[in-house]
Every structure is written in structure tokens, then in C-alpha cells.
Amino acid sequence: RHKFWETQPVGQFRDAADSSLADGAIEPPTPLSEVRADPYPLPAAFEWFTCDLDDDALLADLYALLAHNYVEDDENMFRFNYSPAFLRWALRPPSFFRAWHIGVRAKESKKLVAFISGVPARIRARDDIVRMAEINFLCVHKKLRSKRLAPVLIREVTRRVHQENIWQAAYTAGVVLPTPITTCRYWHRSLNPKKLIDVGFSRLGPRMTMSRTVRLYKLPDAPLTPGFRQMELRDVAAVTRLLRSYLAKFVVAPDFDEMDVEHWLLPQEDVVDSYLVESPETHEVTDFCSFYTLPSSVLNNANYATLKAAYSYYNVSTKTPLQQLMNDALIVAKQKNYDVFNALDVMENESFLKELKFGVGDGQLHYYLYNYRIRNGIKPSELGLAVV
């Protein structure tokens, strides 16, 4: 049934009943000298191409490949539209490897037709901190689908990860593969309900009028919590401390240091936004929230080309109730003209979704580990890892 995935060191559906299988690596590392030295063969018309994201022209090509061929919802009404600045941010965290930004081009035209990427991360599973690759942006041009190109891309990124002596990976997908460690639901909070209804992202509820709907989702003009402000460079140490102690509660979570926090959480316009609460009395940083910006193209709509979406990222509350903190996040997102605020049911998000008028979406996000078993999986609320 899964001709490719059956050959890979991932939890197989048939292993579920086998209680002799322990948590941790599924297969041991091999000596680096045994890692295949040359790239996997591609069909003759194509060639491998390591992408240099410093190069604006290449970045524009990658942007275009994804904007036209990346993930759509199940009814093909919307397609993720990651911005060039976002792609640079997502693909160049501390200690990234250029060799893990892998393109496939047509030999003749040099047109970019497929892509896969990895970035390094330290991820903790229970009490085991593991060097991993986070794999993302797997994309094959629509005209080259169903030709078994994806397994070649996956084998090639695996080879290049192995060359760095890294043997595990984390990834997410909207499709079911062998075997998710957990399955999350998307929730959506309307900020601009009229536009969302006009583009078919949401519907007018039963017995609701447009004006009642607009009133239902109305938010204050400015955040309510005293001391709520944007995160700055000088906050990196305090935010790292807050986040590290918070993420310790989850079964699977990243092991962030200050360099990671500076990269992943310091605000960058239209890429990532982070806010914190600095106590007006003690000047202590007590709470933190963040979201990233991922617009979607609206396919086949005469009035609108894009939907501006914010995605909940990492949030930590120690003094301000999480619900109040996230309400302030909704308020600033509304001020910044986002149409919708999305969140998964990971971490403690269940505690505010219903109260803050999020509604459940039709999409799911499955989380996976490569060459690492977590018996019986975990609940979304035990997951402390957010990926872009």
C-alpha cells in the first residue's frame, strides 16, 4: 500500500500492536563512510541543484514554484503563498546547511520543477534531546505529479542529512503516512468575517445575518493587558528562559537556545510577530505570544487574490491568563489587517480556542518523526513543537 514508506525507518502501521518495540531510534546510525557518496539518479531530463537563498533570482524562482504548486485545501479553493522573506527566514536558522536546500531543474530550460528542504533542530522526545532535520517545502510541479519523484527527493534529503551525521527528522503533512506521532486539528478565528465569507473560507451561520456576524467577531482597538508590547532584541534572554521552562512540560518539543529564539521569535515584518508582557511594576517578562504570517492565494475569486492569515506559533503564560494573552494577539492581528487567525490544538491551545470564538476547520495536520519511535503516540496537548 505504501511502496515507498514501507521501506523507511518509520513506525509501520503493523507495529502498533508489538509491545517489544521500545521508544527511540528505529535503526542505528551507519558509519559515515557507508553513507552513499553521490546523489540519487533523477530521470534523464532533470538535474539536482543546490539552492542559494542569498540569490534573489533563485529565491524568486522558489517562491513561484511554491506559489503555484504547493499545498491546497481539500476543495482547491486556497493555496499557501509563503513570501520570499518568509522562505529565507524558514530555511536559514542558526547553523543551517546550504546542501539541504535541494532543487530539481529541467536540464535544458533550467526551470525549477521540484524542491525539498531541511533545517537542523534539536528536538527533545521525553528526556532524550536528539539532533534532527526538520523537513519542509516538499513540492513537485503539478505537471510532474505521480511519477514517483517525491521518494527520490526524500531519499536525497535523507542522504544529505546523514552526511552531517544526523539520523532523525521531524516533519508534518496534511496527508496520512506511516505513522503520525499525533494528529492535530486546525482552528480558525475570523477577524474579517465579511471577506472570509465572500471568498468561501467560511459561511454565514444558520440564523445569522452579516451584520450580526461582524458584531460577533468584533475586537477592541488596542491590546488590553498593561505592559503588552512587541518583543525586542534586548528581550532574547528573558524570552528564552520563559520558553525553555514552558516547553519542558511537553513530551515532544524543541530545545531552543538564545540563538534559536533570536532567529525564530524576534519580530520580522510580515514574517513573524512576537509580543510579551513586561510587568509595569517589576519590569519582569512574564508572558509571551507569537504568530507567523502565511497568506493563501484565493483561487478563482473575482474580488480577492489573497487571504492574510496569522498562525499561532509559541505562546507562554505565567501571569496573564493564556486566554487574555491570546485575545491581545487577536487584537494586534486585527489591527495589522489579518483576515483570519489560525491555531492548532497543540500545547495548551484547547484552553482558549472555544472561548475566543475559534471554529474548527476542515484540515488536519499530522506530525511525524523519521527513525524515531514513540510508542502509542502522544496527544496534541503533549506536543510542544510548532512548525511553519
Which parts of this chain interact with ligand EN5 (CB under 6 A)? 71, 73-75, 77, 136, 172-174, 186, 188, 190, 201-202, 359, 361-363, 365, 387
Q: How far is the CB of 259 from ligand NHW (least distance, A)?
A: 22
Q: SS3 for 359?
A: strand
State the binding partner of 363 from ligand EN5, ligand NHW, none, CB within 5 to 8 A by kind.
Answer: ligand EN5
Q: How far is the CB of 291 from ligand NHW (least distance, A)?
A: 19
**In 3D, which of 265, 193, 191 has the Cα closest to residue 232?**
265
Nearer to ligand NHW, 5 or 13 (CB): 5
State the binding partner of 376 from ligand NHW, ligand EN5, none, CB within 5 to 8 A by kind.
Answer: none
Rounded Cα gap, residues 122 and 321, in angstroms? 29
Buried (b) or exposed (e) across 79-118, using 16+ Cβ within 10 A?
A: bbbbebebbbbbbebeebbeebbbbbbeeeeeebbbbbbb
What residues line the site for ligand NHW (CB under 6 A)? 2-5, 69-71, 133, 135-140, 145-151, 154, 157-158, 161, 167-169, 171-173, 175, 177, 370-371
Rounded Cα gap, residues 135 and 47, in angstroms? 21
Nearer to ligand EN5, 306 or 318 (CB): 306
Nearer to ligand EN5, 202 or 323 (CB): 202
State the binding partner of 362 from ligand NHW, ligand EN5, none, CB within 5 to 8 A by kind.
Answer: ligand EN5
Rounded alpha-carbon distances, angstroms, from residue 31 to 36, 37, 154, 167:
11, 12, 20, 11
The set of cell numbers assigned to 41 is 539518479
> What is the four-CA torsion angle of 74, 175, 162, 88, rounded to 10 degrees?
30
Q: How far is the CB of 19 from ligand EN5 (least distance, A)?
A: 31
Rounded alpha-carbon distances, angstroms, from residue 233 to 225, 272, 287, 333:
21, 14, 16, 21
Q: How far is the CB of 375 from ligand NHW (least distance, A)?
A: 20
Nearer to ligand EN5, 158 or 190 (CB): 190
State the binding partner of 188 from ligand EN5, ligand NHW, none, CB within 5 to 8 A by kind.
Answer: ligand EN5
Nearer to ligand NHW, 98 or 215 (CB): 98
Rounded Cα gap, residues 216 and 205, in angstroms? 11
Strands 78-80, 46-50: pairing is unpaired
Nearer to ligand EN5, 192 or 274 (CB): 192
State the binding partner of 90 from ligand EN5, ligand NHW, none, CB within 5 to 8 A by kind.
Answer: none
Cβ atoms of 83 and 293 within 8 Å: the answer is: yes
Nearer to ligand EN5, 71 or 99 (CB): 71
Q: How far is the CB of 5 from ligand NHW (least distance, A)?
A: 4
The set of cell numbers assigned to 256 is 531552543
State the binding partner of 219 from ligand NHW, ligand EN5, none, CB within 5 to 8 A by kind.
Answer: none
